[in-house]
Structure 1
Amino acid sequence: MLNLLKGKLDSGTREFFRHGKNYLTASVFIRGLSVISIPVMTRLLTPSEFGLIAVFLSIVTTLSIIYGLGTQTTVGRYFFETNDDFGDFLGSNFLYLWGVGFILSLTTYAYKIEISELLDLPLPMLVFAIVIAFTSATYATVEAYLQVTKQSFLFTRISMFRGIFSLVITITITYYLNEHRYLGTVYSMLLFSCIFFFYSLYLVRNIVGFDFSWNHIKYSFLLGGPIILHLLSSHIINTFDQLMINKMVGAKETGFYSFAYKVGMIFQMIVISLTQSWNPIFFESLKHKNYDNIDVISIRFSFIISALALIIVMFTPQISQILAPEAYSEAISIIPVIIIGFMFQFLYVLYIGYAFYAKKTATIALITLLCGVFNILMNYIFIPIYGYTIASWTTLATFLLFFIAHYINVRLFIKPERVMAFKGVVLPVLISMLLILAYSVV
C-alpha cells in the first residue's frame, strides 16, 4: 500500500516528504527529550535555580541571534546563486562571524559587571553565555548548509546525538554538584557548543575555502543584517506576552497560558519541521522557474497542515491530560485559538520565501518589527481588561497581520513572475479553521 502511494506521488513531493520526515523526527525527538528532562530537573533544582536557567537560556538565544549575524539566511540564499565560489563564500562568512563576534565579546566583557547587574544574572553565567553564543554561530551556519544541500538524514542524526548526550551530561553534572546546581546546564551547553564548533568545521573541511572576499561580506551584511532585527522581533513576539501576563495578571495565569502555548507548539513544531524541507525545494524551483512544482507541493503541504491542525485540536483534552494535572484544565479552551494562530504563521512562512529569494530582508525585518509592536500594544491594552486568555487572540491577530503583510509585499512590491496558487493554499487552511472553531464551540 505504501509503495503504491509512493508511486502516485511525483518526485518533488516524495522529496518533500522524505526530508520533512527527517526534520520532523529530529524535532519530535528533541522536544521529547525536553519534556522528559522537566520532571528530572525540577527534582534536582530549586524553583529559583530553575528560573535562573530559564533566564540564562533566553539570554543565550538573544546573544546567538546577534552573534549569528543572519548568516544562516545568507548561506541558504547564496547557495542558489549562479556563482561557483560557495566554498569561499562560506569561509569568508566564518571569518566575518569570528571577527565581529570577537569585537562583540570584548565589548560585552568590558561592561560585564553593568550587564550582569542589569540582567540580574551571576557574572560567570554571562561570560559562559558569550562563549556559547560565539561558538554556536558557526555550527548554526553549517546547519543551514546541511539544509540547503538536503542532507536531512545527517542533520537528524547529529541533532539526535547532541540531544541525547547533552541531556545525559546535564543531568550527571547537575546531580554531582553540591551547590550552584544550575551550573550543570551551563557547563553542559558550554561543552557541547565548543565540541560542535570544531565538528562543524570538520563537516565542511572539503568544501570551505578561505579566499577572503569583501564582496561576500557585503552580501552577508546587506542580506543578513536586517534578519537580526527580524529574529529578535520574532523572539519578542514569542515570549513578551507571557512577561506581560505575569506583570499584569499574575504568575498562576502565566502558567496557564504558558502550558496552552506549549501544547500549541506541538503543531508549530510540525510546521517548522516541514518548512525546513520545503525551503530548499522552493528556492530550487524558483531558480529553475519550475512553478508547477511549487503549486503542487504547496497545495499538498497546505492540506497536510490543515488536517494535522484539526486532528490535534480534536485530541487536545487527551494531550493536556497526559502533559499536566487537572489544575491546568482551564487553559485547554485557548489551545485551538493558539493553533489557528500558528496556521496563519504557516501561511506567511510560505509567502515570506519570495522575499528571502528576492533578497528583500529589510522589508522582512520592517514587517516583523511592526507586527511585534502591534502585538505588544494589543496585549498592553487588552490583557488588563480581558485577562490572560486574550493573549491567544492577540497572537492570532499578529500572525494574521504577518500573513496579510507578506502577501501584499509579494503581490504589490516583489511581483515574482508567478505566485503559488492562492486558493489552493489558503482555502484548505480556512476550512480547517472554521471546523476547529465549530468543534471548539460544540
Structure 2
Amino acid sequence: MNIKQKVRNLIGKENLEFIGHSKNYLSATFFLKALGFISVPIYTRLLTPDEYGILAVFASAIAIVKVFMGLNMRGGIKRYYFEKTDDFDQALGSNLSFIFVFDIILFSVLYLLRNEIASFFAISGELFFYASLISMLYVPFNIYLSYLQGIKNSKKYSVITIIKQVLILITSIIIMINLDKNVYMGKIYAQLLFAGILFFYAYYEMIKISVFSLKKRYIKYTLAFGIPLIPHALSGFILSHFDRIIINQLTGSLNTGLYSFAYNVGMIMNVVVMASIKAWQPIFYEEFAENNLNKINRMAYNYSKYIYLAAIGLILFSEELVMILADESYYSALNLVPIIVLGYVSVFLYTLFFQYASYRKRTGLISLNTFIAGFVNIGLNYWLIPIFGYVAAAYTTFVSYILLFVLHYSNARFVLKEDVISLRKLIPNFILTIIIGIGYMNLNNIIQSYWVLLILKICIVLICVYYFLFKE
C-alpha cells in the first residue's frame, strides 16, 4: 500500500468527499480574497479617495437590492433539487419564468423611484440605476451557481467564480486607464458588462435542464422557502457590517480602519468556514433524507476538528499575518484577531443546526433567529463601544454569533424536536479552542522574545494536529 493510499485510509471515505468539495470551494474563495487584496493598491492608485468611497457605497446598494431581486429563489430551487423528484426540470423552468417577470416589474419600480432611493445611499440616480440593473442581471447566474452546488459540481462552481472576478478586475483597469473623468465608472461598466454576459450564460446552461412554464405549485414551494429568509439576509448584513458603521459614528474613522483591518485578517477563517458549509449542506441533506442520524453525528464531529484546527493555527500565527499585510500603525488591532476568528468558529457551529430548519423548510425560524442576534448586536455595540472603545465590537459580534448558535440549536432540538447532532464532543473542543485563543492573547503580552513565542506556537500547533487528527 503506497503512502497516498495510507493517507486516504487514515482520513476515511466519509471525510474525503467533504474535504474534496471543501478544497475546491476553499481554493476559489482564497483566490478571490487574494484577488481582493491585490486589487486594493491598484484601485487606490487609479481612484481618488472620493471615487473609492463611491464604489464602496455602490457595492452596498447592489448587496441590498439583490436580496429583493432574487427573493432567495436560489435557496428554494436548490432545496427542491434535494427532494430527488423527477420533475426538477419543470420546477426550475417555472421559477426561472417567474423570477424573470418579477424582476422586470421590480426593476421598473426601482427605476421610477431611483432618485428618491439613491438619496438614501447618497449617490446619483444614475448610479442607483446601474446598481439595480446589475443586481437583476446576476439573479439567474446566482441560481445557476446554487444548482452547481446542489449537484456537487464544486470544481465548475469554483472555476466560473474565479474567471468572473479576474475578468472584471482586468476589464475595470483597462477602462479606468482610458477614462479622463469619473474614473470609478470603469469598474461599474466592467461589472455591468459581465453581469450581462453571465445572465445569458446562466440561461443558456439552465435551458438545457428546464421545462419552461408557470406552474403555481413550483413557484409557491420556492417562495415559501425563500421569502422568509429575506430578513435573515438583511439581519446577516447587520451582523457582518453594522458594527463598523457604529464604530465610525461613535469613535471616528481611525478606529474603524483598525477594526476593519483586523476583520480582514480574521476573514481568512470565514473563508474556511464558508467553504466547509457549502460542502456540508448537500451531504447533510442526503444523509438526513436517509435518516442516517448516527452518520451525520459522526461526520459533523470529524469535520468540526478541521475547523478548530484551522482556527487555532490562524490565531497562533495572526501576528505573522499582520506583519505581512500591514505596517506598525495597524499592530494595535492584533489582539482583536483571535476573538474575530472564534466568532467565525461559532458561525460554523450554528450552521450545523441551521440545516435542520432549512431541510424542514421552516425558514421563518431561521430569519427570526438572525433578526434577534442582529439587533442584540446593535444594542450591545451602542452600549459598550462608548465604554470600552472600538475593541468591544469584536466581543459583541462573538457574543452575537454564540447567541445564534444557541438559538439554532434550541430551535432544532426543542421546536422542531429533531434528533440533533450531539454537543457532547463538539463543545469540549470548542472550549479548548477558546482557551487556546485567550491563552495566546495573554502569552503574546507576557513573552517578549519573538523566537521563544514562535517555538511555543509551533509546539502547540503540532500537539493540536496530533490531538484533532490522529488521536482516537
Report the TM-score, using the length of structure 1 for normalisation: 0.98
* CA distance, structure 1, for counterparts of residue 294 and residue 159 of structure 2: 32
- Alpha carbons 1:12, 1:293 under 8 Å: kept: no
- Tell me how far 1:124 sits from its aligned partner: 1.7
Q: CA deviation at 1:383?
A: 1.1
Runs (5+) with no aligned partner, structure 1: none
Tell me which residue corresponds to 1:432. 433
What is the CA distance between 1:68 and its match in structure 2? 1.1
Q: For the residues of structure 2 that align with 1:269 and 1:48, how far apart are their CA atoms?
A: 29
CA distance in 2, matches of 1:21, 1:425: 22
Give the structure 2 partner of residue 331 of structure 1.
333
* Aligned-partner residue type, residue 18 of structure 1: G
What is the correspondence of 1:9-408 to structure 2 with a 5 Å cutoff?
Answer: 9-408=11-410
Hey, which bits of structure 1, 4+ residues long, moved more than 6 A?
none
Contact 1:298/1:420 (8 A) holds in 2: yes
Task: Provide the rounded CA distance (Å) in 2 between the counterparts of 1:154 and 1:260.
Answer: 32
Bigger mean CA deviation after superposition, 189-198 or 113-122: 113-122
- TM-score with structure 2 setting the length: 0.92
Counterpart CA distance in 1 for 2:226 and 2:350 is 19
Contact 2:115–2:125 (CA under 8 A) maintained in structure 1: yes
- Aligned pairs for 1:414-429 within 5 A: 414-416=416-418, 418-429=419-430
Separation in structure 2 between the aligned mates of residue 96 and residue 429 of structure 1, nearest angstrom = 44
Deviation of the 1:96 alpha carbon = 2.0
- Kindly, what percent of the aligned residue pairs are identical? 34
Q: Aligned partners of 2:166 and 2:84: how far apart in 1? A: 39
Q: Deviations over 1:406-438 (max 9, x none)?
A: 01001101112x322222223222211111111
Name the CA distance, whole Å, in 2 between partners of 1:204 and 1:107. 27
How far does residue 58 in structure 1 lie from its aligned partner after superposition?
0.7
Aligned-residue offset at 1:126 = 0.8
1:115-134: per-residue Cα shift (whole Å, max 9, x none)? Answer: 22232112221111111100
One-letter code aligned to 1:351: F
Q: Report SS of the residue matched to 2:335.
A: helix
Q: Distance in 2 between matches of 1:42 and 1:111?
A: 32
The residue number in structure 1 matching 2:9 is: 7
Tell me by how many angstroms 1:295 deviates: 1.9
The answer (yes or no) to whether the contact 2:98–2:214 under 8 Å persists in 1 is no
User: CA offset at residue 357 of structure 1?
Assistant: 0.3
Deviation of 1:205 (Å):
2.7
After TM superposition, give the deviation of residue 142 of structure 1 in Å: 0.8
Which one-letter code corresponds to 2:285 in the other structure? F
Paired AA for residue 428 in structure 2: L
| Cα distance in structure 1, aligned partners of 2:106 and 2:215 | 22
Indicate if the aligned counterparts of 2:134 and 2:195 stay in contact, CA closer than 8 A. Answer: yes
For 2:214, what is the secondary structure of its paired residue?
A: coil
Higher relative contact order, chain-length normalized (CA < 8 Å, sep 6+)? 1
Q: Which residue of 2 aligns with 1:412?
A: 414
CA distance in 2: counterparts of 1:190 and 1:401, whole angstroms? 39
Q: 1:65–1:231: 8 Å Cα contact kept in structure 2?
A: yes
Aligned residue pairs total 441
- Distance, in Å, in 2 between the alignment partners of 1:427 and 1:286 is 25
For residue 331 of structure 1, what is the amino acid of its counterpart?
A
Moved more, 168-177 or 47-56: 168-177
SS at match of 2:334: helix
Q: CA deviation at 1:292?
A: 2.8
CA distance in 2, matches of 1:110, 1:164: 34
- Take 1:206 and 1:123, find their aligned partners in 2: how far apart are those partners? 38
C-alpha distance in 1, partners of 2:298/2:206?
Answer: 33
Q: Which amino acid is the alignment partner of residue 424 of structure 1?
A: K
SS in 1 for 2:180: coil
Deviations along 1:149-200, one digit per CA (max 9) or x if unpaired, are: 0001111111121121111111111111111011111111111111111111
Q: Is the 8 A contact 2:15 2:303 kept in 1?
A: no
Aligned residues of 1:71 and 1:220 also touching (Cα < 8 A): yes
Once the two structures are overlaid, the 10-residue window that deviates more, 205-214 or 418-427, is 418-427
> How much does 1:82 deviate?
4.4
Q: In the alignment, which residue of structure 1 is the partner of 2:450?
A: none
